Structure 1
């Protein structure tokens, strides 16, 4: 990181509610975790009396299986954001430019600036069509599904963009923090030396406090990431639980089905009062129009529900973002926003085996 950039840098706001009495719809995490996680964690905690195996063979194998790549291409990191920072550290130098989508995850621009580089903001739905700008940028970032808008990138279109990035000598960072909620293939399949993939485990498996994720790369990029990553990147509990979760195929299928069903139900209900962005992710972006955003947030909180003020995303000025949880929680959200839902209850939407 660039020392001068650190001195002038600032932190960015995120979702996440610390009050345990408030139902948190401001963070997009699964309300469920796979059965058996507690036992795996307890065993790992006992083994934490020793340093973890810095090669992380079990974690790499499970992650490789999950995104369909060779285990040695996996770089363990303490969360998806750590993978993003690591990618930027090995790619950017002071004075470089990086193509950053907007509106999108606020940490991209911050992390670019911390390297002494400058973000070049491009509308998130135009970045894959960029050509001329690639020549001037050392890095291009794509978030799929995009946060906060929710739409996933077409894999073939992304592959074409990766080819253009390679021709321009531009590294492509693909943030797939929420791709696990879809059945779309990972960009890890591209096996291009100019592509780095960042993955987060903790959103899909409902364990954001665990801090487990990974990067995927090949060739010289992979070697640079592996050399630069911190020793003992993951604690033993994070590595052990992460490897266990990545192999819970039935849980992943149930989660995807529940999110898809509940997201459509919520979108239809919310659309009666808000302009709702189509989404492939476990969240919905809502334009409240001429209503007061602060008032909507305060009213929901008064009913015990926290929603995300999306005005903190660059380019949004009348938006909130809400997560997609389970049916009972989602009904509480709709009620807190004053939205009526006429659909009948259906146990199949809970996403849990009975």
Structure 2
């Protein structure tokens, strides 16, 4: 990471009004730290796999020693889940660290990077911290862009905050284009576990970033990994910090990836609730299509303002995500898909 780029990001506050980067150089995220609010601003599973707490407690004794730095059990479980080779799995403390590791091992100062918008604000931040230059492309047009001349292209699937899954055939064709152009493709699959689409993990020229946070509802444990092949994998493995995942995270992650029934139930529940919520919310908002555990809502002309909606929801004990912090969105909120009774509270609070 370039120290001058770090200082420059703090000084610039990002790329004008289009970037929600604060004076500390950080970007906003969903989640509320108010325990009295029902949190619809963060899109994590409200349920966790059975046995997770027991597994976490049982990892205490192991946590008194440094973990085995090769993480064989976790790597095997992750590889089985995404269908790649265990040695291609690079454990990290959450998906965001996997994204940072991928960008650090790919982008040099002065390089340009294709970044979708609206999408996760950390992509541009991490590129700028490396001294690279983000080139923003509408998320639904990125797969048709020529990747030549760019060090990296980033795709988020399903895209946050809009929720669409990238067309599988178009994504694979774009991966081929990137490989031919010598451009690394970083695919953020943080929400792909909620869909039935296969991972690109293990494909040559592609780095996949994965998080267990969303699907298994345990953001505080910090479980994630990158997957790479060939030279990309070697760079990831070389640059990875020693003991990059805690003993507890490795144990819980291994346990979670064995809970196939929980995953199937989660996918079915989210799909059913998302459809139900979409139908109700459409009476008041323009609702984006979504394959993810959240819905993006556009506030229609003549309706309340975003600020008024956020305030009224908060008065009802609910936190929503102000989606205006995403590049290109100026009158939007994002809501998570939670458990049925919680979703009913949201729908009632929004009067739909």
Pick the TM interval, shorter chain.
Answer: over 0.9
Structure 1: distance between partners of 2:60 and 2:257: 19
Match in the other structure for 1:30: 45
Give the SS at the match of 2:215.
coil
How many Å apart are 1:8 and its aligned residue? 2.3
Match in the other structure for 1:270: 281
Match in the other structure for 2:124: 109
Structure 2: distance between partners of 1:247 and 1:135: 40
Alignment match of 1:218 (pick from 211, 226, 229): 229
Match in the other structure for 1:136: 149
Task: Provide, for residues 110-143 of structure 1, a one-character-per-residue CA deviation record: whole Å limited to 9, x for no partner.
Answer: 0100000010000000000001xx2221100000
- Number of aligned residue pairs: 335
Superposed, which structure 2 residues align to 1:1-354 within 5 Å? 1-9=1-9, 10-131=25-146, 134-188=147-201, 191-192=203-204, 194-290=205-301, 291-339=304-352
Task: Provide, for residues 2-55 of structure 1, a one-character-per-residue CA deviation record: whole Å limited to 9, x for no partner.
Answer: 111111221001110001110000000000000101111111012111000000
Does the 8 Å CA contact 1:155/1:187 hold for their aligned counterparts? no
Give the SS at the match of 1:215.
strand
Unmatched 5+ residue regions in structure 1?
Answer: 340-354
Structure 2: distance between partners of 1:46 and 1:40: 11
Match in the other structure for 1:349: none
Question: How large is the RMSD of aligned CA atoms in angstroms?
Answer: 0.7
Give the SS at the match of 2:67.
coil
How many Å apart are 1:183 and its aligned residue? 1.2
Unmatched 5+ residue regions in structure 2?
Answer: 10-24
Does the 8 Å CA contact 1:144/1:175 hold for their aligned counterparts? yes
How many Å apart are 1:64 and its aligned residue? 0.1
User: Which contiguous aligned blocks of 4+ residues in structure 1 show a shift greater than 4 angstroms?
Assistant: none
Structure 1: distance between partners of 2:54 and 2:29: 31
Task: Provide, for residues 46-84 of structure 1, a one-character-per-residue CA deviation record: whole Å limited to 9, x for no partner.
Answer: 211100000000000000000011101100010000000
How many Å apart are 1:188 and its aligned residue? 1.1
Structure 2: distance between partners of 1:307 and 1:313: 14
Does the 8 Å CA contact 1:98/1:119 hold for their aligned counterparts? yes
How many Å apart are 1:167 and its aligned residue? 1.0
TM-score (norm 2): 0.94
Match in the other structure for 2:13: none
TM-score (norm 1): 0.94
